[in-house]
């Protein structure tokens, strides 16, 4: 019996969701150590995980979460960590701009 090798057609939403998940995974690794005001970023990550768990992808909700991440950055007292989180903020913006590659 031959297995059908049909590829799922990716949509822009699929690409965006996958890219956002990757950014969040990297951010989680960055914040593993203790630092001042860590609870703000941990709360934000929890909220983002809940959003990613939803079956629908409402782009405006993700832009709102990016805005909230900017607020978290402003409340982060550890300067080195603030720069690391800021890098994730930029990456999140790029992830939300991703589109399916046209062949």
Q: Which of 53, 28, 51 is nearest to 41 (CA)?
A: 28
Per-residue pLDDT of the chain (103 residues; tens, 9 = 90+): 455 566 777 888 999 999 999 999 999 999 988 888 899 999 999 999 999 999 999 999 999 999 999 999 999 989 999 999 999 999 999 999 998 887 6
pTM of the predicted model as reported, rounded to 2 decimal places: 0.84
């Amino acid at each position: 019996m031959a297995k059908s090798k049909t590829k799922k057609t990716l949509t822009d939403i699929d690409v965006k969701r996958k890219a956002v998940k990757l950014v969040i995974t990297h951010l989680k690794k960055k914040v593993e150590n203790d630092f001042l005001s860590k609870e703000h970023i941990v709360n934000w990550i929890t909220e983002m995980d809940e959003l990613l768990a939803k079956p629908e992808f409402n782009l405006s909700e993700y832009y709102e979460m990016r805005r909230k991440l900017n607020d978290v950055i402003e409340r982060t007292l550890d300067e080195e960590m603030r720069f690391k989180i800021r890098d994730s903020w930029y990456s999140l913006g790029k992830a939300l701009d991703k589109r399916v590659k046209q062949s």
